[in-house]
Amino acid sequence: MSSTSPQDQGLTRELLLAGGLREHIQRTSPEMRVLTDEERAESLAALLADRPEHGDGVWVFAYGSLMWNPAIHICDRRLARAVGWRRDFCLATRGGRGTAENPGMMLGLEPGGECHGAVLRVAEADIALELDLLWRREMVASGYIPRWVPVQDEQGNDLGHAIAFTINPDGPSYCTNLPEAELVHRLATATGPLGRASEYLFRTRDGLRQMGIIDPMLEQLGEAVAELQRELKILT
């Protein structure tokens, strides 16, 4: 087994194919229950059994790191918004971009409002392999509930449904309504095998900016985190 960590090479397609992400989560967070291969396969099969549209592929809704590091093969990409869901830092991470002593925070989709991001198209012929890789990435544990959500383009035209990883409010890592000071501190200081929590924040904010999308919550958090890092002399 390779001794290279996800942080050394980034969250890559090769790492997912080799099962490296799961191995590192198990090693760095032994208290976390990870899904078995069978449970992960059952989750994916159940979602595809409820597929609302059939044709030339499926959409995946990207609202966080999938926007700037999808690590799966796609055949199309468009600006989109998920109707009825909003982006929020509500998932504590103790094995990705944080530790048990200093958990980081990652984004999830919470009910209500709307979320601007992108949809990524997986070709019909690639669904089995690419969605398996996606599940290896997003469904290591029980933090998310994958579901089909309605999506629209930026002009409000219906694009059908996309796979989205919504937050699991019953999951052990669900963490909502943190005081802003605590959230900023975690994002500014937490680091783990996948890197810094602040990098996740900054790259998501910047990825949205590059698409012409300004998310006020991410902009405000970005300013506060950068200021705290300067105060603490944290090099990024």
Q: Would you name the residues annotated as active-site residues?
A: 138
CA 103 to chain CA centroid, Å, is: 16
The residues, any chain, with a CB within 8 Å of residue 193's CB and separated by 6 or more, are 5, 6, 7, 24, 25, 28, 95, 96
d(CA 182, CA 212): 29
- Contact at 8 Å (CB) between 218 and 107? no
Q: Residue 236: CB partners within 8 Å, gap ≥ 6? A: 196, 198, 199, 202, 229
Helix (H, G, I), strand (E, B) or coil at 195: strand
